[in-house]
């Protein structure tokens, strides 16, 4: 009976608690006001207390000016401006650090994550869930190459996290307890999508369909997606290092097989003349060694970045909400 009472008390405490929505933005000048107005209407109609935390990730267009305008128009809007571009992961963590709500959601400000889903997420949080993950029912319009590459990337990450992340996204709602756990992590290279699953807590999922952009263009080129995938695989997984070991074992077995074949040919008088086989082996082994050194070197570079202890981001300005412009 005591447990039931405590559970009811917790549900009462969560009613009418403020929701902070973190919206990373890079060159999203055209979407800032539209996102602010859309979320204001949806969350206002649902009578959910809220704040919107826009994070300008060193944009080259008028994104910060648009955030300033939105903050002047809506007292629920807060803006954070980086000194330069630090990347989406840093922007999400800066937004979570600036958020003051009892629960915090992260979503794209291009509205490809449907804002209406926030209401369902919020109600699930009221029921006691601490991590509500938005999972993709459909990925929207993507090329076959992009879909295949994304599938491979998430299989590797799923193996590292030991959680199925094939439909994972950055669209999530987290309890303050989960947010504090993420912010307490000391590492510089972070992967929010995987870490929010890794921390555990009481978790559930909500499906959504990825929408098409109504304004602007995607900031993710093929090369930037490849860099993003490599960076996050290395920061969260040792699979590439394991591939080096597998390659070493493969080359060893190949050498044993070719060695046995060469001995058999030698003793039967059918030895192959010339250095073709030797040259081929040198090329194969040399290539694998160079690739292996490159993978090891990348890990060492990331370790070097962590050891230096530089901040994940630098904030040059804040505006709106409880902040005075700085």
The answer to whether residues 135 and 263 belong to one domain is no
- Are residue 315 and residue 295 in the same domain, yes or no? no
Integer Cα distance of 205 and 182 in angstroms: 19
Q: Is 203 in the same domain as 316?
A: yes
- Over residues 175-224, the pLDDT tens digits come to 898 888 888 887 777 777 777 777 878 888 888 887 776 655 555 555 65
Q: Are residues 177 and 45 in the same domain?
A: yes
Q: Is residue 20 part of a domain?
A: yes
Q: State the residue range of the domain holding 74.
A: 2-217+311-320
Q: Into how many domains does the chain fold?
A: 2
Both 93 and 117 in a single domain?
yes
Q: Determine the pLDDT at residue 211.
A: 73
70: helix, strand or coil: helix
Return the structure tokens found at 58: 């060193």
Residue range 27-49, pLDDT digits in tens:
888 888 898 889 989 888 888 88
> What pTM does this model have?
0.67
Q: Is residue 325 part of a domain?
A: no
Q: Is the pLDDT score of 11 beyond 80?
A: no
**Does 190 share its domain with 279?**
no
Answer yes or no: do 61 and 185 share one domain.
yes
- Residue 7 belongs to some domain of the structure: yes
- CA 165/CA 286 separation, integer angstroms: 35
For residue 188, tell me if it sits in a domain.
yes
The answer to whether residues 20 and 138 belong to one domain is yes
Q: Return the pLDDT at 54.
A: 92
pLDDT of residue 55: 92
Shared domain for 74 and 61, answered yes or no, is: yes
- Residues 120-165: pLDDT tens digits? 888 888 888 888 888 877 655 556 665 666 666 666 666 655 666 6
The verdict on 94 and 135 lying in the same domain is: yes
The answer to whether residue 227 is domain-embedded is no
Give me 213's structure tokens.
Answer: 């952009």
pLDDT, tens digit, 9 for 90 and up, residues 253-271: 776 777 677 667 666 766 5
In a domain, 178, yes or no: yes
- Using CA atoms in the order 41, 45, 51, 57, what is the torsion angle rounded to 10 degrees? -30
Is pLDDT at 233 greater than 60 in this prediction? yes
> Phi, psi at residue 80, to the nearest 5°?
-125, 130
> Nearest CA to 24 among 60, 58, 61, 49?
58
| Chain centroid, CA 192 distance in Å | 4
Residues 284 and 150 placed together within one structural domain of the fold: no
**Domain match, 168 and 265 both:** no
DSSP characters for 262-277? HHHHHHTT-PPPSSHH
CATH number at residue 157: 3.90.550.10
């Amino acid at each position: 009976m005591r447990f039931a009472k405590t559970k009811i008390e917790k549900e009462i405490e969560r009613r009418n608690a403020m929701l902070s929505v973190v919206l990373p933005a890079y060159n999203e000048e055209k979407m800032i006001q539209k996102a602010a107005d859309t979320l204001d209407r949806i969350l206002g109609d649902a009578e959910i207390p809220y704040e919107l935390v826009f994070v300008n990730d060193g944009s080259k267009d008028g994104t910060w000016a648009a955030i300033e305008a939105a903050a002047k128009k809506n007292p629920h809007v807060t803006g954070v401006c980086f000194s330069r571009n630090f990347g989406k992961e840093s922007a999400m963590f800066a937004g979570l650090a600036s958020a003051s709500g009892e629960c915090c959601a992260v979503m794209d400000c291009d509205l490809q994550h449907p804002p209406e889903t926030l209401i369902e997420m919020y109600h699930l949080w009221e029921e006691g869930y601490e991590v509500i993950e938005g999972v993709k029912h459909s990925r929207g319009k993507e090329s076959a190459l992009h879909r295949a590459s994304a599938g491979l990337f998430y299989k590797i990450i799923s193996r590292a996290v030991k959680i199925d992340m094939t439909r994972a996204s950055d669209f999530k709602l987290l309890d303050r307890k989960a947010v504090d756990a993420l912010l307490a992590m000391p590492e510089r290279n972070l992967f929010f999508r995987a870490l929010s699953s890794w921390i555990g807590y009481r978790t559930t999922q909500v499906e959504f369909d990825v929408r098409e952009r109504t304004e602007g263009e995607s900031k993710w080129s093929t090369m930037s997606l490849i860099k993003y995938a490599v960076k996050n695989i290395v920061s969260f997984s040792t699979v590439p290092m394991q591939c080096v070991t597998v390659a070493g074992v493969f080359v060893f077995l190949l050498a044993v097989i070719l060695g046995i074949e060469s001995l058999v040919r030698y003793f039967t008088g059918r030895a192959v003349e010339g250095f073709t086989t030797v040259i081929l082996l040198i090329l194969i082994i040399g290539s694998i060694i160079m690739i292996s050194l490159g993978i090891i070197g990348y890990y060492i570079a990331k370790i070097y970045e962590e050891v230096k202890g530089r901040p994940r981001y630098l904030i040059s300005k804040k505006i709106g909400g409880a902040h005075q412009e700085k």
